[in-house]
Amino acid sequence: MPPIVVVVGSLHYDILLEAPHLPARGETVTGQSWRPKFGGKGGNQALAARAAGAEVRFVGCTGRDVFGRALRARLAAAGIDADRIAESELATGISVAICEPTGDYGAAIVSGANLSLDPDGLAEPALWRGAQALVLQNEIPETANRAAATAARRAGLTVILNAAPMRHMAPDLLAAVDMLIVNAVEAAAQSGQPVGDLDTALAAARALTRQVPTAIVTAGGAGVAWAGRFGAGSRPAERVPVVSTHGAGDCFTGTLAATHAAGAALAQAIAQASRAAARHVAAPADYSSPGTP
């Protein structure tokens, strides 16, 4: 039987712009193209976990609009249980990202309906029955993250928090987290340790284990480092042509959750997640278009 991963998180209808560089303050940049993309860290991670072989149950919130319908249809088309996605009077969350030729990007999000996610429904026993892992991010209210983590911990699941975007997290939330995944910037903010290569990423991961049992620090083109209850180590990044890094971290997190939930050792799950993220960086256009609403 495939592992069951529960994802509680955000959904955004993304607009990706291709431009020669990010605009400076007051500057208008002429871009080359744009396209819609299925997004939200929660939605991206759910698709990645599904692609890695997991059965996925998704909890989130969209608006009562064409964008929300498009996002829910994309999850359903991937075989994800989207029955627990609520609808809000607020508009569906949206993101606009400007991608440079180097593959780097800058983005702005409007959370919209994601902020309406009701924590009360997360106590439903059927949501957790038979599941092995919960995946959370910081694009929904902390009250929802805390309720989900508490319920999942009570049901015996591994709780995985991708703490992005970085924000203050209450001690009771961190106390319910088994595995923290952060990038270099987030790791530095949370641990106080600057991250610039694999050695400093490993040092930051070790520092973060004072807050959570296991910490994983993704350091972009340098690779990934981890420390905690499953040991410590690092792995250089896969060498691939970089088309776009947008969504690569979500691909890593979802793949790792599915692989670890299936019984793989953490180092093996990280290796598989790194390979999946590298494939995504090299060919992001094939990943998750939502279609046009």
Which structural domains are found in the chain, ordered by start?
A: 4-11+40-89+117-286 (3.40.1190.20)
Is residue 195 helix, strand or coil? coil
Percent of the chain scoring above 90 in pLDDT = 85
Q: Which helix (H) or strand (E) holds 174?
A: helix 171-175
Give helix then strand counts, H and E, for the chain: 9, 13
* 250 has catalytic annotation: yes
- Residues with Cβ within 8 Å of 83's Cβ and at least 6 positions away in sequence, in order, are none
Whether the per-residue pLDDT at 228 is higher than 60: the answer is yes
| 122-131, 260-269, 281-290: range with lowest mean pLDDT | 281-290
pLDDT at 284: 65
Higher pLDDT pick, 127 / 289? 127
Cα dihedral 183, 178, 258, 273 sign: positive
Whether the per-residue pLDDT at 104 is higher than 80: the answer is yes
pLDDT grade for 286, boundaries at 50, 70 and 90: very low
- Which of 39, 91, 45 shows the shortest CA–CA distance to 64? 91
Q: Which helix (H) or strand (E) holds 256?
A: helix 248-261
pLDDT at 290: 58
Write the pLDDT tens digit of every residue in 44-53.
999 999 999 9
pLDDT grade for 246, boundaries at 50, 70 and 90: confident
Whether the per-residue pLDDT at 200 is higher than 90: the answer is yes
* Catalytic site residue from 81, 178, 199, 250: 250
- Which of 258, 254, 248, 249 shows the shortest CA–CA distance to 53? 258
Full-model pTM: 0.93
pLDDT at 132: 98
CA–CA separation, 89 and 48 (whole Å): 29
Percent of the chain scoring above 70 in pLDDT = 97
Q: Which two tokens stand for residue 258?
A: 């599915």
- Which of 255, 258, 260 shows the shortest CA–CA distance to 274? 255
CA–CA separation, 211 and 215 (whole Å): 9
State the residue for tokens 């993304």: 14
Higher pLDDT pick, 136 / 280? 136
Distances (CA, A) of 202 to 68, 79, 149, 160, 233: 39, 36, 26, 19, 7
pLDDT at 293: 45
Beta strand 133-137 with 105-110 is unpaired
pLDDT grade for 289, boundaries at 50, 70 and 90: low
- Which of 39, 78, 34, 6 shows the shortest CA–CA distance to 257? 6
Strand order, beta sheet including 33-39: 33-39, 12-18, 93-99, 105-110
pLDDT at 94: 96
Q: Are 19 and 101 in contact (CB under 8 A)?
A: no
Q: Are 251 and 183 in contact (CB under 8 A)?
A: no
Whether the per-residue pLDDT at 127 is higher than 90: the answer is yes
